[in-house]
Structures are given as structure tokens and as C-alpha cells.
Amino acid sequence: MTTAPWICRTCLSRFVRPLARSNARFQSTRSSKETIPAGLLARARNIAIEHKQLTEKLANGFDARAAKKIGEYSPIVEALKAWEKANESVGELTSLIHDPETDAELRELAAEDLSATRATLADASQSLTTSLVPVHPFAHLPCLIEIRPGAGGSEAAIFAGDLLRMYQAFCNRKGLRTMLLKYENINGGQEAGIPLSEAILEVGTENAYGMFRCEAGVHRVQRVPVTESKGRTHTSAASVLVLPSIEENTLGEEDVDDPESDYYIDPKEVKTEVMRARGAGGQHVNTTESAVRLTHIPTNIVVSIQDSRSQPKNKEKAWRLLRSRVAQLRREKREEELAAMKRSVVGVAKMGRGDKVRTYNWGQQRVTDHRSGTTVHDLNDVMDGGQTLEKVMESVRNWLMERDVEALLAEESSSKT
Amino acid sequence: MPRLPTSLIRAARLIDPLLPLLLRPCRDLRSAQNELRWLCEHIQNHAGARNITERTALLKKLVQERSTGKPLQYILGTEFFGDFEIECRPGVLIPRQETAASITQLVHLLRKSKSLPPELRILDLCTGTGCIPLLFQDELSKHQDIRLELLGVDISKKAIQLARSNLAKLRSQGKPTAGNKISFMRADVLDDAREGYDHEIPKLMSALESQHKSSTWDILISNPPYVSPSEYWKTTTRSVRCFEPQLALVPPPSHGLKDLDQGDRFYPRLLHIARDVAAKIVLFEVADLDQALRVTGMARQAGIFSGIEIWRDDPGGSAELESTYASGDFPIVGSGNGRSVLCWRGEGAVWLGKHV
Ligand SMILES: C[S@@+](CC[C@H](N)C(=O)[O-])C[C@H]1O[C@@H](n2cnc3c(N)ncnc32)[C@H](O)[C@@H]1O
């Protein structure tokens, strides 16, 4: 497992591609994007080999797990193909240009082609990198944004309210479905216009967690509070917590054939034992033995049913029981993962307590994100949830992806030792 | 039979005073407890006992009967064949689970076929309780829109009566026998004259004709008597010997037939019939892998089949489904003891999903 922070691939594709193109434009400054780290390339090639083996396996009979894996790997395999093609073209063109045999006209043509092909290669490298970054398991989910004032008294509470309005405006502009699940002012009431004590905003749209999770952390404000009579600038903060909103598993017992369902069990992973008559069987004995025992090999869950005199009935019952036991285990595991995830999200926020993630400075009309190092100057547009806020969020997502790539590379090199 | 350990008997008595009696036929505590539970359920659901005293007395009586080795199936009057409850009576062999497993697997293969004809004719020789045609039609009609004609044949009057009663029960339960034609007929599958033989009983081929039955059948199934006299004494359990009809188990002797050949006696005849009725699929139950190999040898010699394979007890066994080749000859499918021989030819290959 990678320890890298996760990032939403759909957001990435939205935000990274234009970036790749701009890289091509400013090739002189960021030409490194054209290449792809050897470790990542090796990883992609290994996946392509596995993909091929799985495809062959699938040809010999349906296997839901293999089919699912193939689906996951396909984008990587496609991206690798595109990259290899572009890389080959660049190689061919370069050797053509350096070949003394090449006549001047052809060389010129090749040189022209080369810059376009380089741009394609840069694009392909970026896509390949993106496809390799594991998608955060919850990226596709809706999310909850929890906002609370931090240090700084009522000014912090006022700023917390500003942030809530900022996110609401942003969602509004982007057409994202929101619902204010909780709103409490410092008097414990719900009236607006009084400094905020806690708000929970649900963004009910798919992929919202992938989009907003980079907002988690301590947001710092530097301004002259309205309550300040002497005109001094104060520094206060509000904390933002972003959690995936996980509804109760919607796939239930009816979906036993859906590999996504908790109740799905691959028959190949179950050992069936019918307690047969000892010895010869057939006409030689007239046993009443009808017990059935099933073992789910991956989890080692065993169920044994002997209620009925009918073996098929016992088998059916045993399968039902096995399914619900396995589903129970999966739910528990998921809840554990979620709890661990929540702890780590809170951990990020805590890390931000000393280490704020973003500063909003009224005096300079600027917003700086301390992770991506991006500074923008249209503070009002940020607070209105406009394009400028989107730009800042995008910069953090890219920063997160770079961390993911680093983690992937670290993992790749450690798995080699 | 080895004596039961005293500790086991003592443990059983602590659970229920009637349990030690059931340990005798069951041999282990778990099965004994299951049987006691089934007997209690039976009394509560069916028997005419009106109050607790009567019920207790009846339970005690049934447990005592069972402890003599009388099959539970005869006491309760039914046995499950697949998930089908089949009526059982003394004098007719109790259907075995292994037989049901083979039939279920055969139907399973047919069900997957997309090229079954609109009508299929199935002949079951030595039908006993009629369990095979009844399960076959139930399992196939559930899933395929197909018309079936099924005929069960047995030499025993008791068997034919019971088979008809099972069919009637099925119809009264409103089970969909839909457009299917099911019938049972008394006839002798073997065609020689035997000692002490009742000449009232017609031979199969003439019975088919005189009763205006079809002379061609697509699928021939049989679970014939297949136990040789010496095996009968060595390998059958006491309960089988004392309570089930020998007619159903041991083929009749014939002049000059050795023990082993007597056990195999039905198969050459059945293969002959298979050819005469132009069967495209043939499924015979056998005693073990050795007999399976002898029968595959006969089937190959018959020279009419394009494919032959051997099935084990659990031919569709999920995790262990595998084919192994016996001495490079025929695939052996599934897990457990060698249990049946499957042969096919012509369209039969397509119906079974065998690639020709
Ligand atoms: C092993 S039992 C099988 C019964 C049933 N098919 C089943 O699987 O439970 C064999 C049956 O063959 C019948 N049988 C014995 N000799 C026969 C013969 N010569 N012709 C026709 N049936 C015969 C017996 O009466 C008995 O019912």
C-alpha cells in the first residue's frame, strides 16, 4: 500500500491536462515534464504485463475480480501505449535531425514536427503519471465540510462564517448540490449575522471529496477586525475539516452477483465440503448425512449447516450465512479504514494548527497557499468563491499529486531492494 | 462394526436419553442429534399423536425402530432428492444423494445450452421411486422453455406404484409439470429368461411398442443394480442389506457369469438399448472408479459414441472441479468416488456444451 495522500483522478484530468499543455508552451522553463521517472515507467510496464495475463485469464472463463482489475488497469495501459508511441516518434525525429545524411529540407520538416511531438510526449507523460496515481478510495464520494473558529475569539468566529459563505458561493457557482447540515452561532442559536461557532456543509455531488479534501486544515486570516477600535491588524484562524460522506452501503443482499457488493463471493474462493458417507457411497449405503460445510478461503470464515435433510437446502442456507458473515467482516473493515482515515484527516488539520495551510491577508488583498506556494491577489474573488479560489484549490491538488508521485517512486525503489 | 466408545454413549445420554439408541445406526453424535430432531419434527408435523404423552410414546417407538437399523427414510416416509422430497416405501430403494448430484449436473450442462431442441425425450431405466425423471423435469423446466417427454421403467410393481404416487403428489402440490409428459411403465430391461421369472412382465422393447411409446429417446439415464454378490456382503451396510430390496442392488445371476461380471450385468444391455433407441446422451451410475473404467471400455467398444467421460460423486464440485485423465483415456470430472459414466454422440455433444 502506498502511504501517499490520495487524489481524485477525475479532478486531475480536469486540471492537469491544461497544465500539461502550458508546459509545452513554456518548454524552456519546464521541459522536465517531457520525461517520466524511470521508476514510474517500470511500474506502468509491469501493470501492462499483468493486464495482459488477466485478459488471457478472462478469455478462459469469467472471473469478476479479474474483470474489475482489467477495468482499473486499462487507462494505464492506454496511457503507456500513447507514451511509447510519442517517445518513439521523438526518438526517430531526433535521430533524423542528427543524421548527416538527412537533407536540409527534411531536417527542417523534422525539426518542426519535433516540437509538436515533444508537446504530445509531455502530454502523454503527464497522462501516464496521472493514470498511475492511485485514486483516493473515497474521491468519488460526496463530502462534508466542517468549519470551526480557531484561535482569535470572535474575529475567528466571524472569519469562520466568511469561509462558510465562500464555500457556499463556490458550490453555487459550480452548480454543486449543498445542504447545510449544521449551523450554530456563538450564542448557540441558528440566526445568521452572529459569529459562527460550528457549521457542517454537505456537498452532495459525486467526486466532491476529491475536489474539496485539499481544503482541510487551518486557514489563517490577517485583517483589522470590525470589532477593533484601534485599527490594529489581528491574526486569527479557523479550521476546516473535510470528510467523505459515506452512506450506508447501498448494495445489499440482492446484489450477490455484483463484485462491488459486500455480499459478493467468488465461488472459486469457497471450499465446499459435503459430509459424504464414509466408504463406498452410492447404493452401498443409505446415509442421512446432509450437512454442508463452506470455507471462504481468503477470510477463513467457515459455516456448516445441517438443519435440513436436504443437502441442496443446507447448501443454500450455508451460502446465505457465509455471504452475510463475509459482508459483516467487510463492513467492519471499511468502518475501521474510515475511522483511520478520519484520524489521519484530523491529523492533517492538527498539523495545520501550528502549520497553517493558507493565509488570507486583507491588507495586501492576497491569498497564499502554503502547501503549493501559490499566491493570488484577487482576495474578493476568492471570498466570493470565484475563479481565483478555484485556481488556488487546483494548485493544491497538483501539489498533492506530486507528493503522490514521489510516494509512488519511493515505493517503487523500496520494493526493488 | 466396532463397538461405540462408552464415553460417547454417556455423553449422548446426558443430552437426551433417547440419543444412545440413535448412536447405533448413526455412529456419531452429530448425526444422531440431527436424526432425533428430524424425528421430533416429523411427529409434530405429521403423525396423529394428539398430546404430549402420545407423542413421547410415538417418538420412543420410532427411535427404537431406527435403532434396529431401519432406514430413517422408511420411517419418515420420504427422502430428499435434490431439493425434492420423494416418497419412500419399504421394498423400493431409497434414492441416493450422489444420484441427485449427477442428475443436477447433467441438467446444469443442458441448461447452459442454447441449442436444445424444442422437445426432448428422456428414458430412465430402473427408475425405482421415479426420482430421476421427476427431478430432471423439475430442474430443466424451471429454466428452459422446453417440452419434455419422460418415461420411467422398472421391473418392480411396488416401484412403479410408488413412482406414480410420487408423480401424483407432485401434481397435487401444483408443481409445474406444465406441457411435460411423464409416465411410468413396468417392464424388464434385461432380455433373457431367468429362473423364477414372472412371465407376466414384458421385455422393454416389446413394452414400448405395445404401450405405444416412442421407439427413439434423446437421453437415456439409468441407475441399475450394480453390486456384485461378493461386494453385497462385503461393502453394503447392514441397514442396506436388511431393509432395502436386493432386487434393486444385485443384478440377477446368469449361467457362467463370474461375480464381477454379474455386478456389471446391466451395462452391456443398457448400451445395446442406447443404440436401439438412438440415444444421443447416456448417463449410467456405477459403483466406483473400477466399474466406471469397465463401463467406459464397454461403451468405447460399442463404437457409437463420440465422447465418453467419468464423473465423480460431486461432478459440479465448485472448488475442486478438475479433469484428470485416467490412463490417458477418458476425463474424470469432479470430486469424490467414481460415480457415473457419461457418453454422447451427434447433437448430444452440442447439448452438453462439448466441443466436437
Ligand atoms: C438401484 S435401483 C435405482 C432406483 C432409482 N433409479 C434411484 O436412483 O433411486 C435399481 C432399480 O432397478 C429395478 N430393476 C431391477 N432389475 C430390473 C430389470 N431387470 N428391469 C427393470 N428394472 C429392474 C429395481 O426394481 C430398482 O428399482
Examine the domain organization and report whether B84 and B184 are in the same domain.
Answer: yes
Residues, chain A = 417
- Do B17 and B95 share a domain, yes or no? no
User: pLDDT tens digits for B216-234?
Assistant: 999 999 999 999 999 999 9
Residue of A60, A274, A283 to mutate, testing the B interface (most B Cβ within 10 Å of its Cβ):
A283
Question: Which cell numbers hold the place of B279?
Answer: 440415444
> Is the same domain home to B157 and B275?
yes
Answer yes or no: do B211 and B283 share one domain: yes
Question: Do B89 and B58 share a structural domain?
Answer: no
> Does ligand 1 lie within 6 Å of residue B248's CB atom?
yes
Point out the least confidently predicted range of A191-205, B118-132, B200-214. Answer: A191-205
Residue-level pLDDT at A5: 36
- Measure the CA–CA gap between A352 and A375, rounded to whole angstroms: 18
Same domain as B280, residue B216 = yes
Task: Supply the pTM of this predicted model.
Answer: 0.66
**Which helix or strand (DSSP H or E) is residue B61 part of?**
helix B52-67
Q: Could you tell me if B68 and B90 are in contact, meaning their C-beta atoms sit under 8 angstroms apart?
A: no
Q: Are residues B197 and B339 in the same domain?
A: yes
DSSP state, residue A268:
G
Q: Is there a contact between B221 and B277 (Cβ–Cβ < 8 Å)? A: no
Q: Which residue has the higher pLDDT, B351 or B255?
A: B351
- Answer yes or no: do B289 and B188 share one domain: yes
* Atom of ligand 1 at shortest range from CA of B188: 20
Strands B307-314, B335-344: parallel, antiparallel or unpaired by DSSP? Answer: antiparallel
CATH 3.30.70.1660 maps onto chain A at 153-344+353-416
- Name the closest residue on chain A to residue B228, using Cα atoms: A284
| Joined grid coordinates for residue A153 | 475569539
Q: Which amino acid is at A281?
A: G
Mean pLDDT of B329-336: 86
For residues B151 and B183, state if they share a domain: yes
Whether B154 lines ligand 1, by a CB cut-off of 6 Å, is: yes
Residues B42 and B125 placed together within one structural domain of the fold: no
Average pLDDT rounded to a whole number, residues B101-129 = 94
pLDDT digits (tens, 9 = 90+) for B311-326: 999 887 643 444 555 5
Q: Which residue of B has its CA nearest to A288?
A: B72
With 90 as the cut, is the pLDDT of residue A12 above it?
Answer: no
Gap from CA of B251 to ligand 1 centroid (Å): 9
Structurally, chain B folds into a number of domains equal to: 2
Residue A360 β-bridge partners: A221, A367
pLDDT band at A277 (very low <50, low <70, confident <90, very high): low
Please state the rounded mean pLDDT for residues A391-417: 79
List pLDDT tens digits, range A289-346: 889 999 999 999 999 888 899 988 899 889 888 888 888 888 788 777 777 766 665 4
- pLDDT band at A350; cut points 50, 70, 90: very low
Confidence band of B200 (pLDDT split at 50, 70, 90): confident
pLDDT: is B6 or A280 the higher one? Answer: B6
Q: Which CATH code for domain A153-344+353-416?
A: 3.30.70.1660
Question: Is there a domain that residue B241 lies in?
Answer: yes
Residue range B277-286: average pLDDT? 97
Give the tens place of pLDDT for each residue, B52-82. Answer: 888 889 999 999 999 999 999 999 999 999 8
- Indicate whether A167 pLDDT > 60: yes
* pLDDT classification of B335: cutoffs 50, 70, 90: confident
- In this structure, is residue B1 part of a structural domain? no
Q: What local confidence, expressed as pLDDT, does residue B280 receive? A: 97
Q: B171 and B33 in one domain?
A: no
Question: What per-residue confidence (pLDDT) applies to A251?
Answer: 55
Mutate which of B102, B106, B155 for ligand 1? The one with the most ligand atoms within 8 Å of its CB, which is: B155
Burial of B172 (0-12, 13-18, 19+ CB in 10 A): exposed
Q: In whole angstroms, give the CA distance from residue A56 to residue A74.
A: 14
Separation CA B28–CA B280 (nearest Å): 44
Pick from B90, B100, B97, B156: which is nearest to B128 by CA? B156
Yes or no: say if B154 and B180 are a contact pair by the CB < 8 Å rule: no
Do B90 and B109 share a domain, yes or no?
Answer: yes
CB distance A283–B226 less than 8 Å?
A: yes
Sign of CA dihedral A20, A26, A31, A34: positive
* Dist. CA B323–CA B3, nearest whole Å: 40
Task: Say what percent of chain B tops pLDDT 90.
Answer: 67
Residue B253: give the domain boundaries: 79-352
* ipTM, 2 dp: 0.90
